[in-house]
Structure 1
Amino acid sequence: MSSDAWDGIEVVDAHAHANRALVPRLLATMAAENVSAAFLVAGGVVSPMELSHTIVTEGPGRDVDADNAELLEAIEGEPSLAAFCFVNPHRAAGEADRKLVEECAGIKFAPGVHGIGHLDPRVQSYVDLAAERGLPVYSHCIGNGALSVESYARLAGRNPEVTFILGHAGRGNFDLDAAQEIRGAENVLFETSGGFDFVIKNAVETLGAERVVFGSEFPIQHPRVELTKLALAVAEADLPAVLGGNIRRVTRTRKGGST
């Protein structure tokens, strides 16, 4: 009987999506693939087609809120699951946002959804919340302007006390520039979902294994696909850090990693 390269290694998914209806399917998938914990972002904010269009065109985005409260309710009592608060930087952080963030394990931006640049003062207001709470910040970067990896690295440089996570291997699939763009910003980690195994291997070589984290992008991508890529791209000795150790190190939380 064959075994997987990640057998015996604690696997923590740094980036998946869910809502109330998807949580049972997510838990079943995690059990089947020996994923012990996951950090979730509220799903269904825009349709996959709309998101695809705005990513490809660097479209204007729109003012829309994720249902963070519903996700928190859906995972209550599930010690292996925790949420990143999916914020809407069309407004600066307010008291309601502060209360939500207090229940979460991190903060997530999606420039492809909202179209707000990383260096916008409203974005900084949420980064300030992350700094206060000791939480990481995640963003999916697109294009070469205000929503780009380069601008995200500049945001990280302005906030060295905060850990930032660059989602989806930079701009996705064949983006070798991303690792170079964040190389000097040592508080930025590289999350692997969507990147070619060659790009992941390059990220480990460029940044070091301690700055690379596994994410699945469930349910759009199956965890086994992403785990198989990592098994091909990452040296066996580095797998424990990449598959779970690194994201645990930067997410000090009561849940989502606690099994």
Structure 2
Amino acid sequence: MKPSTTVEHTAAPVSWWSWRPGISPQRALLIALPLVLLASLLIGIGLISLLAALLDSQTAPLTINGTVVGHSTGSLDRLPRLEIRLQAAGFPPLVTPVVPAEAFAQLHDGEQVQLLFSPHLHALRALRTTEHSYQLSEGSAGSNLAGSLALLGLGLLLMPYPATLLFWGWRDLYSPRCQMYARVVARRAVERQRSGRAGATPHSSTAPWYGLALLPVEGTMGTTARPLTFSVSPTLYQRACAAESVLLTYSPHLHYVYTLEPLA
């Protein structure tokens, strides 16, 4: 089913895209705070692991003795794995690293091996016996750096808009409300669409979205001659008619509409 959209406007072009979601400050805080905390956690873990990976790349590995106690293949990836028992403080009693095919074939149950761990991340880099040495890709410096950079990059990508939304919501809680005399130049109603208004904050996939494009009356918004778009409730939408003058009360940052009064 195609979304049902109703648009009323004049000849003046109107862009419905907006970074300002038109939601209440309280709701903005509830949405933004968990996302900011998540992004901060990702950035923190990424920075710590990146620093540890850089230190590990410049530091000699730790050598831990172990005993091969079993052979297995992963239930999902079907990769060869060795079950190795460790007896060292600060390390798990049993590790099951993915190993090269030759190590899987040459190392037998009960055989003594040395495991080379990175000193900070405790990533297993290699296995060693008196005759052979086997490098492991899971604990390589490159994979550790790539994982750290991925976490850091994800956190940095996630942070900017939620942080801005959090700042706007906090400021709007304590900032005076703005008032504007304006003329309604366009109205838009969108039904059954994932996001009724192009913007950074999606709306409900089932609830209709209602928007108004308002052209400020000369002198109330400086020299602004561009229509400003606002997300409004169904009640306010019904009260605003095209080419009608209104008095709008809204929050200065989120552009949440508190009241809209038609003017005679």
The normalised TM-score by structure 1 is: 0.18
Give the structure, 1 or 2, with the largest relative contact order (CA under 8 Å, sep 6 or more). 2
